[in-house]
Amino acid sequence: VPETWNELLEACKKIKEKLGIYGFALCATASEEGTWQFEPFLWTNGGSLFELDQPEAIEALSFLVKLVEEGYMPRDVVNVSGQGDLTIWFINGEVAMMVNGNWEFGWHLTPDVLKELGDVEVAPLPVPKKGMKALVPFGGECYGISATIDSEKLKYAWEFLKLFYVEKVGEFYEKWTGHIPTRASYAEKIAQLRPELRSFIEQAKYAIPRPLVGGIDKYPDVSHEVIMAIQRALTGVQTPEEAFKEAAANIRKLFSKEEFEKYKKMAREILDNTRKRMMEGK
């Protein structure tokens, strides 16, 4: 399993030469899914959503562009409808490796499909250099109760949500949906029941909530600028440097000068502190 970016390039080259298929794929669709899948490459390389015009961010995007230019990743990653399309490619033998999430093990990669595919490995994302660990985003969907619900329905809705924190219910739910546990107390049991989820469970310890490093309530706007730039670079409309310098300028315009500096500092502190904790195992 490739552990570094260079090892990934080498593996993709061999796969292309021997099997004639793409070695790698990630989702670069024009939505949050595209930004979501790029963020680990950005953050792990020392970049930030508020510093896209800096070398660390440009280098991360350049790496993905190289994968496309070398024929190791399909340019069509910009046209997929979502991350599930990557799994279909994977199941059909069109790509050898993909970036994807644990939910796929409750959707496309069910136990029966995994059994049919045979030898399927799950590993952390490759990092720029040996010894580094990937910083990944945290998130997905959240359960909520309407503020206008009547009191009787509120009571039952609350009791229903509490079920997801009951260990036996959680074990059943996570086992069949591929979701990671809501409680650490039975995380190891889920990892034993579904070994393919272990890597995700481990990474969740240090996962980063996206809005905290992306402008809080303006994160959707920041994310939009990011994925539009990624698409321009992957399709060859702009170079990675041109695309990210334009995106960086557009992101600055979303905030006042004071807001931008505040969120930039917040993002840098969270990213650096998370990286430090992860490397120290805290």
pLDDT 10s digits, 152-171: 999 999 999 988 888 888 88
pLDDT of residue 71: 98
Half-sphere exposure of 205 (CA within 13 A, CB side): 17
Q: Are 170 and 186 in contact (CB under 8 A)?
A: yes
- pLDDT < 70 positions in the chain: none
pLDDT of residue 164: 82
pLDDT of residue 248: 99
Rg (CA), the chain: 20
Q: What angle separates helix 240-253 from helix 55-69, to the nearest 10 degrees?
A: 140
What phi, psi does 117 have (nearest 5°)? -70, -35
Helix (H, G, I), strand (E, B) or coil at 25: strand
pLDDT 10s digits, 38-85: 999 999 999 999 999 999 999 999 999 999 999 999 999 999 999 999
- Burial grade of 102 (CB within 10 A; 0-12, 13-18, 19 or more): buried
pLDDT of residue 171: 82
CATH superfamily, with its number, for domain 5-139+207-280: Periplasmic binding protein-like II (3.40.190.10)
Rounded Cα distance, 101 and 47, in Å: 22
* Domain regions of the chain by residue span: 5-139+207-280, 151-195
Q: Is the pTM of this model over 0.85?
A: yes
- Burial grade of 278 (CB within 10 A; 0-12, 13-18, 19 or more): middle
Instruction: With CA atoms as reference, report the closest residue to 68 among 26, 101, 117.
Output: 26
pLDDT of residue 86: 97
pLDDT of residue 35: 98
pLDDT of residue 184: 85
pLDDT of residue 3: 97
Rounded Cα distance, 216 and 211, in Å: 4
pLDDT of residue 166: 84
